[in-house]
């Protein structure tokens, strides 16, 4: 019989060995730009906008040429991004209105966020910047898995001003919030968001718990506003609208550089997953963004509405300077973060995203997804991509088929030449959509129009 003391020593050694073998939980920094054009950063070919820090991030990690947002505009994309699943699964397909008194409109409370899952793994979590997932108390970031919050709850914000003297549609001049307390704005909002991110990382340096930072800039979303110093640096751009847009992108790039610098200074960069992407394609007409060779813009299911700049970097795990050409989705980024933190992803029906690390490292062959899907509203526009093929349909038109391998601009509809491909992709889309919910709340425009009608009836006009 083994003596009790010897047995205890053996068990202790086994526990120690298991602890040594357990993978270290990485820090996670997910950075989202707002309405950034596909061709508006250096690593995507921009020549008139300098983005040295994002270019360095791309050079030090994996650039995804066929990176996609799961939705062609703001709020639904964020709902998918922070749950790791298609937002259509829970009927989140419209931009949530800014309605602080409405406790029924926001990211469904039955949905578990990435932040909540990471909290369960011992992470300290922070949301900085744009929220846009419900403005009432019960949808607040502090109640959806984040330990810390700094930013604003609506879909956008003025970059220089806070005004509490009157109600403001969409909250563009509402007070900022820091951990639930209102706060003014001193300086340029993009800089203040970068400050908060740097401060959060610095405070975590040397801590025993890993951290998760969700840094959601509102740049370069309208209103087009930039500091004079950045406008001066973009003086080579003749078009004043494009010049301001470029200055906003450059200021954001500088802030991201400070965030990456703080990770280095804190000694945690090697073991930190950093991902950068835009929430959707650029709205070229409204903010002078440029989607390059892609057709369409924000709000479209054409490539210009959903294909986005996307970079993933983790020096201890991923090789520098890699280019990945298979289609990947924004929800894959959050699922990759969860997998690295030890949250089981594979085969779990609550996730639509996958862990991209084995694909990036060449440990798994083939594409991460057989198909990728998009659907606006209750079906006024939808698309499915499988390999080189993309089928899309706008309400009132027949389905259009494109071969993206030679027609990334979606110029030639070849549906009639490939009826078998059309039938196959249509069946795939129908099967996917059968598991989705109908729209759960009106768009912000419909919501405020309804409120306006109620008001007009009340005052007899």
DSSP states along 60-101: TSEEETTEE-SSSSHHHHHHHHTTTS-GGGGT--SPPP--TT
What pLDDT shows up at residue 19? 33
Alpha-carbon distance 25 to 273, whole Å?
10
| Backbone angle region of 429, left / alpha / beta, with phi > 0 → left and psi within -120 to 50 → alpha | alpha
Question: Mind listing the pLDDT tens digit of every residue in the chain (461 residues)?
Answer: 445 444 444 433 443 333 333 358 999 999 999 999 999 999 999 999 999 999 999 999 999 999 999 999 999 999 999 999 999 999 999 998 888 888 889 999 999 999 999 999 999 999 999 999 999 999 999 999 999 999 999 999 999 999 877 766 677 999 999 999 999 999 999 999 999 999 999 999 888 999 999 999 999 999 999 999 999 999 999 999 999 999 999 999 999 999 999 999 999 999 999 999 999 999 999 999 999 999 999 999 999 999 999 999 999 999 999 999 999 999 999 999 999 999 999 889 999 999 999 999 999 999 999 999 999 988 889 999 999 999 999 988 999 999 999 999 999 999 999 999 999 999 999 999 999 999 888 776 666 665 445 434 433 43
- Structural tokens at position 53: 């820090």
- What is the reported pLDDT for 6? 45
Structure confidence at residue 442 (pLDDT):
75
Go through the chain and tell me how many residues it has: 461
Which residues are registered as beta bridge partners of 393?
382
DSSP structure string for 71-82: SSSHHHHHHHHT
Residue 17 pLDDT: 36
Is the torsion defined by CA of 76, 82, 86, 90 positive or negative?
negative
pLDDT at res. 441: 80
pLDDT at 10: 40
**pLDDT at site 22:** 36
Instruction: State in Å, rounded, how far the first CA of the chain is from the last one.
Output: 92
Query: Where do the domains of the chain lie, and which CATH numbers do they carry?
Result: 25-360 (3.40.720.10)
Separation of alpha carbons 375 and 371, rounded Å: 13
- Distance, in Å, from the CA atom of 230 to the CA atom of 86, rounded to the nearest integer, reads 37
- Rounded Cα–Cα distance for residues 383 and 227 (Å): 39
3-state secondary structure of 276: strand
Three-state SS for 16? Answer: helix
The pLDDT of residue 9: 42
**Cβ neighbours of residue 264 under 8 Å, at least 6 residues apart?**
none
Residue 346, CA distances (Å) to 23, 302, 355 in order? 18, 30, 8
pLDDT of 99:
86
């Amino acid at each position: 019989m083994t003596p009790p003391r010897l047995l205890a020593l053996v068990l202790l050694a086994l526990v120690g060995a298991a602890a040594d073998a357990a993978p270290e939980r990485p820090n996670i920094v997910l950075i989202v730009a707002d309405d950034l054009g596909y061709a508006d950063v250096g690593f995507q070919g921009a020549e008139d906008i300098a983005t040295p820090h994002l270019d360095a991030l791309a050079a030090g990690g994996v650039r995804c040429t066929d990176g996609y947002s799961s939705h062609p505009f703001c709020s639904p994309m964020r709902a998918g991004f922070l749950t790791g699943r298609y937002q259509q699964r829970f009927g989140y397909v419209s931009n949530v209105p800014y309605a602080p008194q409405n406790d029924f409109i926001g990211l469904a409370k039955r949905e578990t966020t990435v932040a909540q899952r990471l909290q369960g793994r011992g992470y300290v979590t922070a949301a900085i910047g744009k929220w846009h997932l419900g403005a009432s108390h019960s949808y607040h970031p502090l109640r959806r898995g984040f330990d810390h919050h700094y930013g604003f709850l609506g879909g956008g914000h003025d970059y220089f001003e806070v005004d509490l003297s009157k109600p403001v549609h969409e909250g563009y001049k509402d007070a900022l919030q820091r951990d639930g307390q209102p706060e003014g704005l001193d300086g340029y909002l993009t800089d203040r968001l970068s400050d908060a991110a740097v401060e959060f990382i610095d405070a975590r340096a040397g801590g025993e718990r890993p951290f998760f930072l969700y840094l959601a800039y509102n740049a370069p979303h309208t209103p087009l506003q930039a500091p004079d110093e950045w406008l001066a640096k973009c003086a080579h751009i003749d078009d004043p609208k494009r010049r301001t847009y470029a200055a906003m992108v450059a200021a954001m790039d500088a802030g991201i550089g400070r965030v990456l610098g703080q990770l280095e200074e804190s000694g945690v960069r090697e073991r930190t997953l950093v991902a950068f992407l835009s929430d959707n394609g650029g709205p070229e007409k409204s903010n002078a963004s440029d989607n390059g060779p892609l057709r369409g813009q924000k709000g479209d299911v054409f490539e210009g509405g959903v294909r986005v700049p996307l970079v993933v970097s983790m020096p201890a795990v991923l090789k520098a300077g890699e280019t990945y050409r298979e289609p990947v989705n924004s929800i894959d980024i959050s699922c990759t973060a969860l997998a690295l933190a030890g949250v089981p992803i594979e085969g779990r029906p609550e996730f639509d995203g996958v862990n991209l690390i084995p694909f990036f490292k060449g440990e798994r062959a083939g594409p991460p997804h057989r198909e990728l899907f998009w659907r606006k509203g209750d079906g006024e526009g939808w698309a499915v991509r499988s390999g080189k093929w993309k089928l899309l349909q706008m309400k009132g038109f027949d389905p259009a088929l494109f071969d993206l391998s030679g027609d990334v601009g979606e110029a030639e509809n070849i549906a009639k030449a490939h009826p078998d491909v059309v039938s196959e992709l249509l069946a795939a889309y129908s099967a996917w959509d059968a598991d989705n919910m109908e729209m759960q709340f009106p768009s912000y425009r419909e919501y405020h129009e309804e409120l306006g009608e109620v008001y007009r009836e009340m005052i007899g006009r």
